[in-house]
Amino acid sequence: MMIRRLVVWLAASVMLVHAHAGQPSAVQLASVYAAVASLDGDQLQVAKHADRQVPIASITKLMTAMVVLDAGLDLDEYLTVRPREQKLGKTAWTRMRNGSQARRGDLLHIALMSSENIACDVLARHFPGGLKAFVAAMNSKAKALGMDDSVFFDPAGLSPNNRSTAADLVKMVRAAYQYDRIRDVTTSTFHQVTFRKPRYSLQYGNTNPLVRSSRWDVSLSKTGYLSEAGRCLVMVSEINGEPTILVLLDSLGTRTPIGDAGRVRRWLETGDPGSIAVAARNYERERTAAYRVDAVSQNGSVQ
């Protein structure tokens, strides 16, 4: 009996290794595009349409943060809040009062943690050379990181023309992880900003509920949403004792990327591929069909 159990255990172990090594996309995901990789590794452990260039919404803000921090600007300097300079056809609602002032570091904090769109515009316009120079710096940074299939048009991610691939975003997350401030800010749960002229305070919360979960060890996080991009989530979390990058793009519902994160973790830990709802499968078919039509009209081919 003991020998038989040992044989069964060994066979299951071999099957699990096979599933991880030979079928990197075997896990069932509701996100239309996805990539998962070890923080220190070169190979993707999960790759679902990971080379397709698609809108990335507020995932953009990780690039914005790196450009701000690379410039070495004074994070304690007060910047004036003004209406958005770019007209992108998208509403950027904000609780910040027009004409009031906040520290650059606080604006960076709420841009990353709470996805405050106007804060990104303020940061970009107070960059040497202004907004145009800031966007150019974003694209230069992407090129330096080897993000060859990525392009940026605005610092907040409100433009659907901000596009990248899941594979490229693994590179961006890996680079962003090297910044202590980005790791600290994106995993904080709440932050209070005190403005001046006039003086008032606002409380902000993290858009990723997993940073507050005792079941997750999240060390970097960013969410995003546009109608063109769907629900998006990128993060770094320890799985099987190893920091792991998760990139989940274009999901149907608010909680869907959270569910996908759980499916990825379960698959990496146990080999269980999980399952997804019929509605998610239908959504993926619709988005994939739309992607193919768009790709053919633009390039004459589909990746």
115 counts as catalytic: yes
Is the pLDDT at 7 greater than 50? The verdict is no
3-state secondary structure the chain: CHHHHHHHHHHHHHHHHHHHHHCCCCCCCCCCEEEEEECCCCCEEEEECCCCCEECHHHHHHHHHHHHHHCCCCCCCEEECCCCCCCCCCCCCCCCCCCCEEEHHHHHHHHHHCCCHHHHHHHHHCCCCHHHHHHHHHHHHHHHCCCCCCECCCCCCCCCCCEECHHHHHHHHHHHCCCHHHHHHHCCCEEEEEEECCCEEEEEECCCHHHHCCCCCEEEEEEEEECCCEEEEEEEEEECCEEEEEEEEEECCCCHHHHHHHHHHHHHHHCCCCCCCHHHHHHHHHHHHHHHHHHHHHHCCCC
More confident residue, 121 or 2: 121
More confident residue, 39 or 17: 39
Q: What is the pLDDT of residue 170?
A: 98
Tens of pLDDT along 30-65?
A: 999 999 999 998 899 999 999 999 999 999 999 999
Is the pLDDT at 8 greater than 70? The verdict is no
Q: What percent of the chain has pLDDT over 70?
A: 87
Tens of pLDDT along 88-134?
A: 667 678 999 999 999 999 999 999 999 999 999 999 999 999 999 99
Tens of pLDDT along 155-179?
A: 999 999 999 999 999 999 999 999 9
Is the pLDDT at 17 greater than 70? The verdict is no
Tens of pLDDT along 234-269?
A: 999 999 999 999 999 999 988 999 999 999 999 999
Is the pLDDT at 293 greater than 70? The verdict is yes
The mean pLDDT value of the chain amounts to 90
**Catalytic residue selected from 31, 48, 61, 251:** 61
143 counts as catalytic: no
164 counts as catalytic: no
Q: Which of 2-6, 162-166, 275-279 has the highest mean pLDDT?
A: 162-166
Q: What is the pLDDT of residue 88?
A: 67
CATH number of 26-299: 3.40.710.10
- 8-22, 109-123, 189-203, 261-275: range with lowest mean pLDDT: 8-22
**Catalytic residue selected from 115, 221, 237, 251:** 115
**Catalytic residue selected from 58, 159, 221, 237:** 58
Q: What is the pLDDT of residue 58?
A: 97
Q: What is the pLDDT of residue 303?
A: 53
Is the pLDDT at 25 greater than 70? The verdict is no
* Confidence class for position 216, pLDDT limits 50, 70, 90: very high
